[in-house]
């Protein structure tokens, strides 16, 4: 993929992330590349992240590792549509997109399945 194609792809995902951030329950929407770097999106303006930058970087790296590990079972169990973790302070949803991952953080009280459907619709995945 050329630099222009990469730039265009990331621009498209930046727009998708910004559209996701318009939803009241979504705190964070970002595209993570295979190296564990945030390449599009980010935190909703005006919200304070629950993690510092170093912890976010660890989260991104761990996320990429988990997604790639899960893909080993795609042939027997089927492809992962999304994964979710309900924590005390937030719900984390991850959506594999090729070798990248769309990471979404939402309010802790959301309905996970309904939020996942909404994310997939808005992000076009």
Q: What is the CATH number of the domain that holds 40?
A: 3.30.450.30
What gap in Å lies between CA 119 and CA 19, rounded to an integer? 10
**In this structure, are residues 101 and 67 in contact, taking their beta carbons and an 8 Å threshold?**
yes
Which of 5 and 51 is assigned the larger pLDDT? Answer: 51
Counting the structural domains of the chain, the total is: 1
Residue pLDDT, tens place only, 84-103: 999 999 999 999 998 899 99
- Is residue 51 classed as helix, strand or coil in its secondary structure? coil
* Residue 27 structural domain: 3-123
Return the pLDDT at 23: 96
Q: pLDDT at residue 3 above 60? A: no
What gap in Å lies between CA 18 and CA 47, rounded to an integer? 14
* Cβ partners under 8 Å of residue 83, min gap 6: 66, 67, 70, 93, 94
- Please report which helix (H) or strand (E) contains residue 40, including its range: strand 38-43
Quote the distance between the C-alpha of residue 84 and its chain's center.
Answer: 10
Return the pLDDT at 6: 56
Give the single-character DSSP code of 57.
H
Can you point out the beta strands (E) in the chain?
A: 26-32, 38-43, 83-86, 91-97, 100-106
């Amino acid at each position: 993929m050329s630099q222009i194609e990469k730039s265009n792809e990331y621009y498209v995902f930046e727009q998708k992330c910004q559209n996701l951030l318009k939803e009241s329950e979504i705190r964070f929407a970002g595209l993570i590349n295979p190296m564990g770097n945030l390449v599009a999106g980010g935190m909703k303006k005006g919200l304070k992240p629950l993690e510092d930058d170093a912890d976010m970087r660890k989260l991104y790296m761990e996320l990429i590792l988990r997604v790639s590990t899960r893909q080993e079972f795609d042939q027997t169990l089927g492809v992962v549509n999304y994964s979710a973790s309900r924590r005390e302070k937030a719900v984390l949803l991850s959506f594999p997109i090729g070798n990248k991952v769309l990471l979404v953080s939402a309010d802790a009280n959301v309905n996970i399945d309904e939020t996942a459907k909404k994310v997939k619709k808005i992000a076009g995945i």
